[in-house]
Amino acid sequence: MRIGNLEIDSPVRLAPMAGVTNASFRLVSKECGSALITSEEIDATGLVRHTDRSEQIATFHPTERPLAMQLLGNDAETLVEAMEVLQERGADIIDINMGCPMPKITRSGKGSALMRDVPATALILRALRRSCQVPLTIKIRGGWDMQHLNAVEVAQMAESEGVDAITVHPRTRSQRFAGRAPWQIIRDVVEAVNIPVTGNGDVTSYSEALQMMAETGCSSVMIGRGALGQPWVFNPDFEGWNVERQREYRERAIARHMELIRTFYPEGRYSLLQVKRHLSYYARGMRSVRECRRTIFAECDTRDEAWTTFRHFWDAA
């Protein structure tokens, strides 16, 4: 797939997830096959004020390229300033979050609230397009609620403002993550615009991603929750391997993920939480999954202890 002047090798890629898709998870996903990776949402105001939190989220490793960096905001001037900061640091794509459903975000007019006022959002995208040197993309939902399903209208507006590609998560803001994602809306957007559309929602395997592409005509697929505890979902060959080969690959990916966490984050609260959280995802499907998770969270005080505990349960599984 091509986004602006950027050729992306593989069509199935990691979706941004706040609190999850930090550099270590992005890199292990990339090494498994996600050719393009996206940062967590970065609050534009926080970034221009250089808050510790925004700086931490905006940090990436040189090997992560190409990297899309996602901004959250609703003020054109602030978004442009934040976009210039990210561009200067090397972002390969600037993505604007127009889908976040969290009330604390939408109350201030950000995230999916941008879909409510199409003319105002057009002005924001116009301002961004004027100074953005790299591809500019947006990530939208089906609409605000079932009475306002305007993904097609927003997509057409974005295309006419010079946006290079669109990701569609077809649930509405009010649906949050409930029910099944209505893939038909992705198809409607694909048919309405001439720029690449990425589909997203409820995909948990590479073959399902191919099915979404076939059913909707989208040119790539983003996987979010389906990648938690299984970054190998991005490997096109994985499903065709026998159980032993899959287990060996999974084991290597998990160990690599833990190594990346150690490399990027010094021992401490954040690092330990990352190890525990992801090992708990990796424990899914084990016979003694509950006992493994309980022991990791209740009894392990260091990353080494958590890893040794996980290995014990993994070897017994």
DSSP-assigned letters across all residues of 199-229 = EESS--SHHHHHHHHHHH--SEEEESGGGTT
Distance in angstroms (rounded) separating the CA atoms of residues 15 and 180:
17
Q: Is 91 in the site for ligand FMN (CB under 6 A)?
A: no
Residue with smallest beta-carbon separation from ligand FMN: 224
Q: Choose, by CB under 6 A, the member of 16, 66, 170, 196 that binds ligand FMN.
A: 16
Instruction: Establish whether 132 is a catalytic residue.
Output: no
Q: Is 43 in the site for ligand FMN (CB under 6 A)?
A: no
Task: Specify the residue, 40 or 188, whose C-beta has the smaller distance to ligand FMN.
Answer: 40
Q: Choose, by CB under 6 A, the member of 29, 54, 78, 97 that binds ligand FMN.
A: 97
Q: How many CB atoms lie within 10 A of CB 191?
A: 11
Of these residues, 100, 132, 292, 300, which one is catalytic? 100
201: tokens are: 């929602």
Q: Is 31 in the site for ligand FMN (CB under 6 A)?
A: no
Closest CA to 32 of 283, 233, 267, 293: 233
Whether residue 194 contacts residue 159, with contact meaning beta carbons closer than 8 Å, is answered with yes
Q: Is 41 in the site for ligand FMN (CB under 6 A)?
A: yes
**Residue carrying the six token digits 């409510």:** 116
Q: Is 199 in the site for ligand FMN (CB under 6 A)?
A: no
Distance in angstroms (rounded) separating the CA atoms of residues 224 and 201:
8
Q: Choose, by CB under 6 A, the member of 169, 250, 257, 278 that binds ligand FMN.
A: 169
Strands (E), the chain: 2-3, 6-7, 12-14, 37-43, 67-72, 93-98, 136-143, 165-172, 197-200, 220-223
* Binding window for ligand FMN (CB under 6 A); candidates: 94-102, 253-261, 269-277, 309-317: 94-102
Whether residue 219 contacts residue 213, with contact meaning beta carbons closer than 8 Å, is answered with yes
Q: Is 101 in the site for ligand FMN (CB under 6 A)?
A: no
Question: What is the CB-side half-sphere exposure of residue 87 using CA atoms within 13 A?
Answer: 16
Task: Specify the residue, 33 or 99, whose C-beta has the smaller distance to ligand FMN.
Answer: 99
Q: Is 278 in the site for ligand FMN (CB under 6 A)?
A: no
Closest approach of ligand FMN to the CB of residue 173, in Å = 12
Give the x-and-dash track for 70-89 against ligand FMN (CB under 6 A): x-------------------
Binding residues for ligand FMN, total number by CB under 6 A: 22
What Å distances lie between residue 312 and 32, 239, 253, 287, CA to CA? 24, 26, 17, 13
Task: Specify the residue, 21 or 150, whose C-beta has the smaller distance to ligand FMN.
Answer: 21
Q: Choose, by CB under 6 A, the member of 226, 232, 296, 310 that binds ligand FMN.
A: 226
Closest CA to 135 of 163, 154, 155, 158: 163
Contact footprint for ligand FMN (CB under 6 A): 15-20, 40-41, 70, 97, 99-100, 139, 169, 200-203, 223-226
Question: Active-site residues: which are they?
Answer: 100
